[in-house]
Copies of this chain bind each other. A is one copy, B any other.
Amino acid sequence: MIISKDVKAFDGVNEALVGMGTDLNREIAENLGLNAEGFEAVTANDFFIAADCDSEEVFQKVIENVDEMLNKKAEKSKAEYVPPTLEGALKVEKDLNMAVISVPGRYAADVARDCLEHDINVMLFSDNVTIEEEKELKEYAVSKELLVMGPDCGTAIINNVPLAFANVVKSGNIGLVCASGTGAQEVSSIIDQLGGGISQLLGTGGRDLRSEIGGLMMKQCLNALIEDAKTEIIVLVSKPPAAEIEKQIFEIASKTEKPVVVCFIGGNVEEIKKSGLYVAVSLEDAAHKAVQLAKEETVTDFTTFAMGQEKAEELAAEEVSKMAEGQKYVRGLYTGGTICDEAMKLLIDDLGSIRSNIPLKPEDRLEDARNSASVEHTFLDFGDDEFTVGRPHPMIDPSLRAERVAEEAKDPQTAVILVDCVIGYGSHEDPAKELSDAVRKAKETAAKEGRYLSVVATVCGTEGDPQSRTATSLQLANAGAIVLPSNAQATRFVQTILKKLQ
């Protein structure tokens, strides 16, 4: 998929698709008008290059280049032996105890079971695993005291090894159990920024706290961290679970001597406090509290700006002073689902209604969000299914979101665009590039029509990440975005702007 994008960037290439001949890829090729004569013969076992080129020479160049790109990839891994089967892997590495599974969903459960049978913990990156399979796998895992992180688990860090979409964080004494990917990335990255370190970051998958699964893995992971000698402080991150499951989790958490910070945003605060746990009011606040506990400092709520309320008010007032009559809405355009959800939760009391493809209230659903214009205050999660059909996740391919940034600028009612930029392993190698170009273009569009568009951004990730937090922030700020140190602060800044607009 990534190669497709590189090929599309060639001079003389109008459209391109490179990949295996799966049903999905064949359908995409058809939709793109790339199913030329002979394409019907391509099967799931074939690798194909389909391109709409200006000339035959261009196509020859494309083929050579794809060859080169693939060889480069192959060269990189040449030195390593990549075993094709689990049995092969176990032959070269008998002590194998962790597997990351990212085969298509319908095969994933079988592979996972196979691993568990060999006493191997599982990170199940695959989605499209049925909830029955998930339950069965997790029950089996619990019976063997193993982990099944997932399905659809995108982020984990085990003994300082980042798995899938994870950030390069310092090693330390804070252990995390997270139901979501960008929630985990946000909390762990901020812990790193604040000088704290991570012992383990365990994922449960988004459905774990549903009554069907009953929080099997949240409880298993929590117990694992309680027993982990490296972990001295524990953080739980999730949407609020059902009351009954919550109770079971708090029972376990309240029994350990280790302090536990609970970040179930929108959850039952009294219940958390009653159990002797620490309540976090945002992902950032969870990170702050964990670091305060690690440093044995007094635990306080962090609900303001690192730069101070006064400075933030000043900056917001300056943004507002440049806006035109009629600019009044925020458009939140996110690649990270959980931080999108967090932003909406932090704003909903003020705004009353936020239209979204992942709405907080069913009546606020924006139907066919990919093809619909935003309505009043709108937040879009570009990682949600309807945006990822036939294309990679927006953290890998940032183009669709970037296009929308430019698009929202044309609406005279748009006052502020709020964006995330998630870096780290797994993410695009330079996600700020396309985004900052879009920000520049969006600001120009608004300026041409006599408006001022405020763009507020947050970078989720660390300085140690391949993309670098500083380099990423700089690119966005150079394009005119107000870059703030966390999603909560960026959201609060938007809130400050909107209040001044009333």
A residues near B, CB below 8 A? 194-195, 306-308, 311-312, 314-315, 463, 466-471, 473-474, 477-478, 480-485
**Smallest Cβ-Cβ distance to A470: which chain B residue:** B307
A308 touches B468 (CB 8 A): yes
Residue on B nearest A484 in the bound complex, by CB? B470
CB distance from A469 to the nearest CB of B (A): 8
- B residues less than 8 Å from A474 (CB atoms): 315, 477, 482-483
Known: A307-B470, A307-B471, A314-B471. 5 other contacts (CB 8 A): A194-B195, A195-B195, A311-B468, A477-B478, A478-B481
Neighbouring B residues of A478 by C-beta, 8 Å: 477-478, 480-482
A306, B482: Cβ atoms closer than 8 Å = no
Q: Which residues of B contact A470 (CB under 8 A)?
A: 306-307, 484-485
User: How distant is the Cα of A481 from the Cα of B473 in the complex, in angstroms?
Assistant: 12
Closest-CB distance, A400 to chain B (whole angstroms): 24
- Provide the bound-state CA to CA distance between A195 and B193, in Å: 9
Question: With A and B bound together, what is the CA distance between A473 and B482 in angstroms?
Answer: 10
**Distance of A483 Cα from B194 Cα, bound (Å):** 20
A471 and B483 CA atoms in complex are apart in Å by: 9
Task: Give Cα A477 to B466, complex, Å.
Answer: 21
A480 contacts across to B, CB distance below 8 A? 478
B residues in contact with A483, CB < 8 Å? 474, 477
- Residues of B near A194 (CB, < 8 A) are 195
Q: Separation in Å of the A26 CB from the closest CB of chain B? A: 37
Give the residues in chain B near A311, CB-CB below 8 Å. 467-468, 471
A252 to chain B, nearest CB (A): 31
Return A165 CB to nearest CB of chain B, in Å.
Answer: 19
Question: Separation in Å of the A195 CB from the closest CB of chain B?
Answer: 3
* Cβ B477 vs Cβ A307 within 8 A: no
Closest residue of B by beta carbon distance from A291 = B195
Report the nearest B residue to A485, measured CB to CB: B470
Cross-chain contact A306 with B463 (CB below 8 angstroms) = yes
**Distance of A452 from chain B, by nearest CB (Å):** 13
A-B contact pairs, 15 of them (CB 8 A): A195-B195, A306-B468, A307-B463, A307-B469, A307-B470, A307-B471, A311-B468, A312-B471, A314-B471, A315-B474, A470-B485, A477-B477, A477-B478, A477-B483, A478-B480
